[in-house]
Structures are given as C-alpha cells and as structure tokens.
Amino acid sequence: MLDSLNTSSLSQTTLSRLLKYLALFFVLFGILVRLIQYLNNRSLWLDEASLALNIINRSYGELAQTLDHNQAAPLGFLWLEKLSTQIWGNNEYALRLLPFIASILALGVFYRLVCLYSSTLAAPIAIALFACGRYTLYFATEVKPYSSDVALALILFWLLTKVRYQILQIREILGFALLGSLVIWFSYPSIFILGGLEGCYLLTASRKHLRQILTNRIPIYLTWVCSFALFYFLTIASTLNNEDLSSSWEDRYPDSFGDIIWLFDALGRFFYHPMGFSGITDGIGIIAFIFGCIAWYRYNRTMFLALISPFVATIIAAYLHKYPFRDRLVLFLAPMGMLIVAEGIIFLLLKFRNSDGRWRKFISRSDGTANSSNNSFKNNFLMGLLGIIGIICLWTLIISTVFRAGNFVIHPELKHEIKPVVEYVVSEDQPGDKIYVYNRAIAAFTYYVEQRGYSDLDYITGAINFSNKDRNLSEKWQALNMEIKPFQGISRVWFILREDHSEELEILQYLNQIGQQIDSFPQPGASAYLYNFNNFR
C-alpha cells in the first residue's frame, strides 16, 4: 500500500528489497526470542502443571477421558505431549517442545501468507506484530495447545486459500479430506477455520461454478463432519459434562442472540488478549483494525471476507454457547487480526488518490516497478489528520511491541517460579518441619514433588482461595485458621504461596498475628515463608 512520490524504478526495487529483508529480520528475531524463552525453562504454573499431571500420570487411552484438574485439550495434542515425555523424559523442555516447534512453524507459514497477500509495506509490520506479539510469543513456550492452534489455523488458511475456487483432482480431494479430518483431533478451533473459509469461498464463488465446486467438495465436507462428530462424542461431550470447567466460562457467553453489548465487549477485549495491545494501545489497535478492514475490502474483497470468516464462525459458536470468544481461546484468530491491523496502519500512513478516485496500494511486480500516485494528501486536512493517526498507530503498536519482545532477550519472562521455591524448602527442610501449600500452588507443587521424588515431605494442601471475592477478609482468615490448626505449637512450618501481591499480603498479615516469621524465599509469582507457631493456640 505504498504510494511513493516520483521515485525511480531502481529506488522502488531497492525499497521493496529492504522491506523484504526487514520482514525476514522480524522472523529471525521472533525465532530468537522464542528460543531464549524456551531455553530459559521457567517453572510450570497452575494451568500448565494441571495439564502436565494428566499427561504424565495417564495412559494414552485414559487421556481420551475427562481430564483431572478441570483441564481440557484436544486428544491429538495430548498424545503428542505424552509421546514427547516418553522420548525425552518428564521435564519442562519435553512438555514445551510441541508448542515451541508449532510457534516456529507458524512464523514460517505466516511469513508465506504475508508475502502472498499483504502489500509490501504492510508485510514487515504484520510480521513484527506476530513475531513479537505478547501472547503469540508467550504461548510459544506454554504447555497448552494454543500455539499449535495458531500453527494449524495458518496452515489451513494457506492451503484452503490456494484452492479456493478450484475443481480438485481425486488425489487432492483425498488429501484435503484426510488433512481436515486429522486437524480436528489436534485443534478445537480448527473447525472454525475449515467451516468459515469454505463457507466464505462458496458464498463468493460465481453462480456459474458454485454447483461444480460444491459437488466436487461434498466428499471432503462429509469426511470432515464425520470426523468432527466422532471426535465430539468421544472427547468433547465428556468435557462439556465437567460442570466446573463449563461454569468457568459461563459468564463469557452472550445472554441472548440480541446481546449486542456482549459482542462489542468481546471484540474490544480481543485487542488486549490475544492481540496483545495493553492500555491505550488496544483502542489504537481498534482504529487501525477498522481502517484495515476498509483497506482490505477495497483492495481484495475476497481476501477480506476470508480473513473475517473465522471470526464470524467463532462468534456464532459463542452465541450458541459452544465456544467462548475470549482470551487465549481465540489466539488462533490473532494472525488474521494482525494482517488487517498492518494494512490499516499503511492505509493511514500513505494514502493517495489516483485519477479515478480509487485507492492504490504498492504491489511489487516481477519487473521491479510499482504502482504510484502523484496526488499528495499533504494539502488536504483530512488526509493529513489520517496520516498523523497512522504515525501514532505505527509508533504505539509496533515500536512498543518490538521493544517489549526485545527485553525478553535480556530478561526472559517468568510467571510463577514455584520450582526454585520447592527446591529451597527441600534444601532447608529439617526433621519435624511441616509444609502448607496454598490452594493456587497445589498443581505446580504436586508436579515438582512427583518429578523430583520428594516423597518424604510432610505437607498438607489448603482449600481456601484468597482471590474469592464472595468472602470478606475476616472470613478468609477464619477459613485459613481452620486449615492450619494442625500446626499449633510447631516451631517450623513452611508456607508455599503462589498468588498475586495483594493475596500474599493478606495471608502474611494473618500469619504474622499468630506466629513469628523466621525465614523467607520470595521468587517471581511464588514464595516460601517459614513460621514458628509455638505460641499459636
């Protein structure tokens, strides 16, 4: 979408080459940051540890049943995770290997999609957003299927778009039937990519060819439906019967089909999580997205509909209360959103009209030339204002995103470092020591106790959760008092906590009233405190 001033063919070719190198730089930079995050080997946190306990302690057949600890994941993902731990052992590297590989694969496929369909100037912006995005980067090294969801969504988008209006040969029909049938077992949201894209391409196909295309692909669709039905009844149905898991997402659904407020709220939240725009930048991201929709619609209406079709399919599922349109569960939609935002930024930055009033974009050609316009918007107040907005979007969305990712090269991201906390408690453990494990630390504590073989630790697990807003502080203290009654008169009691700062202060405030703190070992998101309860009665 670059409208250059009177530049030579050589300078345009040079600029195109520089932009390509810049895009490749962001791909390599994204790989570097992911590798550093992976090698940093941070501790498993609550959700990771909860899923890891299922993977480690269950057989392949048992993984097809309802999972413990209110967890859910596609069966194919669970089996690959199980295989990884059997080959490389029960450790964080083995558990995170699949998400890490998926994230690298996703970067490569996204780069290919950008080269095929984005304008030359938007390409490095889109890749920078994807390579350095807060959540696309974080979930690249988390024991969850969200990174593989992204990779599989991009692969499906790439392959289905290549053959969108083609009449497929027998071998291609078999290939796509098999691909879609398998992907469904590895990624829950793949059904929204398959259904959304194929529905879009059927709706935009010419009437002349629609019947041919539909007849040609009926075997593919029937195979996908049969595979999904089997997968649903074998695994998803049992997951939906988990009331605790289902209720945890209940407030994320719209109240009715007329709940427009929910729709705007869900779309607005999308720019914070999973797009990764925090604070004021989420509003700026929305502005860039809106103009990106305008740009895509004007330049390539079919691709615009393809980009938004998975959004539409997922939102419909949310209105049917089948799939929440919220947070990490829609990370697979982030690449499509980033493609749109990138074009929106360029649309705002460099926008001119040609003689017939249509918007032009910079498109590299095989002969090294590019479309350009001699009409400048510098003398037009509206165009100048839009250009300023474009500069703000570029600075706030791209620079801040890249800077944050660059910081991880020096200071890799940590979440809840329960592993060194457990190791410290074990190293300082004395005969007669007791351990209390806070409710939100149980899963990670259990994983590391089992992994390290700390079977001789004398500990109890708590049930009180200080994040519960239905109880006041006094009620929480009373519940904690009941849980630690067995520690009356004991001189050494360890408390292993995993919470935010406010919860930690509330717990310590009570413990300091009934006991004497004699040691502490704080870590990011986790901590251990040693108390003397000789006077606790």
User: What is the 3 state secondary structure string of 202-241?
Assistant: HHHCCHHHHHHHHHHHHHHHHHHHHHHHHHHHHHHHHHHC
- Cα angle 200, 201, 202; round to 5: 95
Confidence (pLDDT) at 366: 33
Confidence (pLDDT) at 373: 43
Confidence (pLDDT) at 239: 74
Domain boundaries along the sequence of the chain = 9-410, 418-532
Confidence (pLDDT) at 279: 82
Q: Considering the chain, what is the average pLDDT of its residues?
A: 89
Query: How many Cβ atoms are within 10 Å of 511's Cβ, its own excluded?
Result: 21
Cβ neighbourhood burial of 291 (10 Å; 0-12, 13-18, 19+) = buried
pLDDT band of residue 106 (cuts 50, 70, 90) is very high
Confidence (pLDDT) at 246: 67
Pick the range with the lowest mean pLDDT from 114-123, 205-214, 245-254, 451-460: 245-254
- Cα angle 358, 363, 367; round to 5: 125
Structure tokens at 352: 């001119």
Q: What is the C-alpha to C-alpha distance for residues 434 and 462, in angstroms, rounded to an integer?
A: 13
Higher local confidence (pLDDT), 280 or 433? 433
pLDDT band of residue 205 (cuts 50, 70, 90) is very high
The Cα-based distances of 310 to 226, 289, 512, 532 in angstroms read: 21, 16, 53, 57
Contact status, residue 377 vs residue 360, Cβ threshold 8 Å: no
The Cα-based distances of 460 to 186, 457, 482, 486 in angstroms read: 37, 10, 13, 10
Architecture of the domain whose range is 418-532: 3-Layer(aba) Sandwich (3.40)
Q: At residue 7, does pLDDT exceed 60?
A: no
Q: At residue 498, does pLDDT exceed 70?
A: yes
pLDDT band of residue 372 (cuts 50, 70, 90) is very low
pLDDT band of residue 278 (cuts 50, 70, 90) is confident
Q: At residue 407, does pLDDT exceed 90?
A: yes
Confidence (pLDDT) at 187: 97
CA-based end-to-end distance of the chain? 74
Pick the range with the lowest mean pLDDT from 27-36, 73-82, 450-459, 513-522: 450-459
Phi, then psi, of 530 in degrees rounded to 5? -105, 125
Give the single-character DSSP code of 259. -
Confidence (pLDDT) at 293: 96
pTM of the predicted model as reported, rounded to 2 decimal places: 0.90
Spell out the residues 6+ positions from residue 267 whose beta carbon is closer than 8 angstroms to its own. Answer: none
pLDDT tens digits along 236-263: 877 777 666 666 677 789 988 889 999 9
Q: What is the C-alpha to C-alpha distance for residues 78 and 381, in angstroms, rounded to an integer?
A: 56
pLDDT band of residue 421 (cuts 50, 70, 90) is very high
Q: At residue 221, does pLDDT exceed 50?
A: yes
Confidence (pLDDT) at 390: 80
Q: At residue 359, does pLDDT exceed 50?
A: no
pLDDT tens digits along 36-87: 999 999 999 999 999 999 999 999 999 999 899 889 999 999 999 999 999 9
Task: Evaluate the CA torsion angle 99, 104, 109, 111 in order and state its sign.
Answer: positive
